[in-house]
Amino acid sequence: MTKQVQLFIDGEFIDSTTEQWIPVTNPATQDVIAQAPCTTSEEMARAIASAKQAFQSWKEVPVSERARLMMRFGNLLKEHQTDIAEIICQELGKTLEDAKGDVWRGIEVVEQAANIPSLMMGETVENVARSIDTYSYIQPLGVCAGITPFNFPAMIPLWMFPMAIACGNTFILKPSEQDPMTVNRIAELFAEAGAPKGVLQVVHGAKEQVDTILHHPDIKAISFVGSVNVGQYIYKTGTDNLKRVQAFAGAKNHMVVMPDANKQQVINALVGASVGAAGQRCMAISVAVFVGAAQDWIPEVAEAIGKVHPGVYTDPNAAYGPQISPQAKARVLSLIEQGKKEGATCLVDGSDCQVKDYPKGNWIGPTVFSDVTPEMTIYKEEIFGPVLCTSSVDTLEDAIALVNDSPYGNGTSIFTASGAAARKYQHEIEVGQVGINIPIPVPLPFFSFTGWKGSFYGDQHAYGKQAVRFYTETKTITARWFNDDIPVSGPNMSINLR
């Protein structure tokens, strides 16, 4: 019998009573490995009610105890990093090392959550007026929620609920229906770490369950990572319902290559940053912009990328895995064909990729286009596959203008030996995360993940100090104490200090 994914409600894993189930498939074989439930409205209500009730006691738990919970949780994640990674491999298809990295980047956020006492400190000013002091506290919001995508089933949930819960909130997590088992394992470890019942709830499903989260009055804040259209819907609907929302959406990340860069470093960086994780990451480099004489390197870049190949996670030579679904594969293939029709030069074509012994896998080989212009569909749309577009410009100013004209602003990078060029680029570029001789500039969690423009809707970003601000409210107190009677000693003795 196919495994049925359970819900995690009120501190217990339970079987859903739903009649609607979503198949979870291994994308390398198309075998159905589990069935994910579409959580019923009654189960959703129970989860939210449990989180609301748990908040009343959890918010009173000392911040140092909340930090120690995160320490224990982080240690358990480290102990079980490989077995969590293997679940990712089975339901998403990542290579084992990539999956272990997925888990580790989440662990780093949990370590940041363990630092919550210093992050929750308020501010104070003495004598704002005569004998009057003002000080602020940071307090939790209540029930928060997270809606996460398929491509990082460990890291992105761990971006959200550890920081929210460490701040004193409770949390409803709705992971992707395409790979829900990873989150269930993480929730199991969170309970093992000593999390009280109701602090974390895990529900599964699709749009109906998301809409419940967006409209329910007891949910105060929503974190989302996913596609542009869904991100816009989440942000508009959530804010229309007077909720705090952070929505991380699409991307089209450029890497600018200057002619003074180290060619081999450029080639090595582009191989991993463009097709790694099958291109299924919002920080992938999908456009390489070669400046001046650097455009002569494009054939060598294409040759190097063409040498890598996808495969199953048990293959140590596989550079990346399959697309998440046949539908995702069909979409990427259609964009490759569109690129050819619109006049881009296909230097490496992975459309007919096959992997031995896995004929049903959602495989796409590495693909490289040259002569790509901003009017082309493959330039404008986020392909989310192992496809690199390359363009050529004459000057750094042209490259900056090209990048700034993009509606997205998730990440970008420049490869150069010139400090002046790097300084100009980082200053003038309208993108939230910039790498200098680093292809994928994802910050460590003591900073924040800071996409701009159409890549993010909201005000406060993920993890780091901004996450604490997102998951809390500031309360400011102005206090005056009169000196009429200050006890000196004994129950009936006082001195008048006026």
Pick the closest to residue 445 from 82, 186, 174, 74 (CA basis).
74
For the segment 189-202, the average pLDDT, to the nearest whole number, is: 98
- Residue-level pLDDT at 249: 96
Q: Are 298 and 390 in contact (CB under 8 A)?
A: yes
C-alpha atoms less than 13 angstroms from C-alpha of 432 in its C-beta half-sphere:
25
Pick the closest to residue 277 from 366, 381, 160, 179 (CA basis).
366
Enumerate the β-bridge partners of residue 4: 35
Say yes or no to pLDDT of 496 above 70: no
Say yes or no to pLDDT of 498 above 50: no
For the segment 171-176, the average pLDDT, to the nearest whole number, is: 98
- Residue-level pLDDT at 487: 74
- Say how far apart CA 389 and CA 435 lie, in whole Å: 19
Say yes or no to pLDDT of 232 above 80: yes
The length of the chain in residues reads 498
Q: Residue 485's pLDDT band (boundaries 50, 70, 90)?
A: low
Say yes or no to pLDDT of 260 above 70: yes
- Say how far apart CA 202 and CA 50 lie, in whole Å: 12
Q: Are 338 and 378 in contact (CB under 8 A)?
A: yes
Interval 365-401: pLDDT, tens? 999 999 999 999 999 999 999 999 999 999 999 999 9
The 3-state secondary structure of the chain, one letter per residue: CCEECCEEECCEEECCCCCCEEEEECCCCCCEEEEEECCCHHHHHHHHHHHHHHHHHHCCCCHHHHHHHHHHHHHHHHHCHHHHHHHHHHHHCCCHHHHHHHHHHHHHHHHHHCCHHHHCCCCEEEEEECCEEEEEEEEECCEEEEECCCCCCCHHHHHHHHHHHHCCCEEEEECCCCCCHHHHHHHHHHHHCCCCCCCEEECCCCHHHHHHHHHCCCEEEEEEECCHHHHHHHHHHHHHCCCEEEEECCCCEEEEECCCCCHHHHHHHHHHHHHHHHHCCCCCEEEEEEEHHHHHHHHHHHHHHHCCCECCCCCCCCCECCCCCHHHHHHHHHHHHHHHHCCCEEEECCCCCCCCCCCCCCCCCCEEEECCCCCCHHHHCCCCCCEEEEEEECCHHHHHHHHHCCCEECCEEEECCCHHHHHHHHHHCCCCCEEECCCCCCCCCCCCECCEECCEECCCCECHHHHHHHCEEEEEEEEECCCCCEECCCCCCEECCC
- Residue-level pLDDT at 483: 83
282 is catalytic: yes
Q: Residue 484's pLDDT band (boundaries 50, 70, 90)?
A: confident
Say yes or no to pLDDT of 497 above 50: no
Distance set, CA 36 to CA 107, 184, 388 (Å): 25, 11, 34
- Say how far apart CA 52 and CA 140 lie, in whole Å: 12
CB burial of 12-48 (b: ≥16 within 10 Å; e: otherwise) equals: eeeebebeebbebbbbbbbeebbbbbbbbeebbebbb
Interval 33-89: pLDDT, tens? 999 999 999 999 999 999 999 999 999 999 999 999 999 999 999 999 999 999 999
- Residue-level pLDDT at 492: 58
Percent residues over pLDDT 70 in the chain = 97
**Token digits of residue 236:** 């508009």
C-alpha atoms less than 13 angstroms from C-alpha of 401 in its C-beta half-sphere:
8
- Residue-level pLDDT at 493: 54
Pick the closest to residue 242 from 328, 381, 142 (CA basis).
142
Distance set, CA 382 to CA 226, 284, 374, 387, 413 (Å): 12, 10, 13, 10, 17
Percent residues over pLDDT 90 in the chain = 96
- Residue-level pLDDT at 7: 98
For the segment 289-315, the average pLDDT, to the nearest whole number, is: 98
Say yes or no to pLDDT of 412 above 50: yes
| Residue whose token pair is 């395409």 | 178
Pick the closest to residue 225 from 145, 149, 328, 144 (CA basis).
149
Neighbours of 419 (CB within 10 A): 9
Q: Of the ranges 252-256, 291-295, 300-304, 481-485, which one carries the lowest mean pLDDT score?
A: 481-485
- Say how far apart CA 411 and CA 243 lie, in whole Å: 27
Residue tagged active-site, from 282, 346, 353, 389: 282
Interval 427-447: pLDDT, tens? 999 999 999 999 999 999 999
- Residue-level pLDDT at 10: 98
Q: What is the dihedral of CA 41, 47, 49, 55, to 10 degrees?
A: -160
Q: Are 434 and 256 in contact (CB under 8 A)?
A: no
Distance set, CA 126 to CA 35, 478, 485, 497 (Å): 59, 10, 21, 20
Average pLDDT, the chain: 96
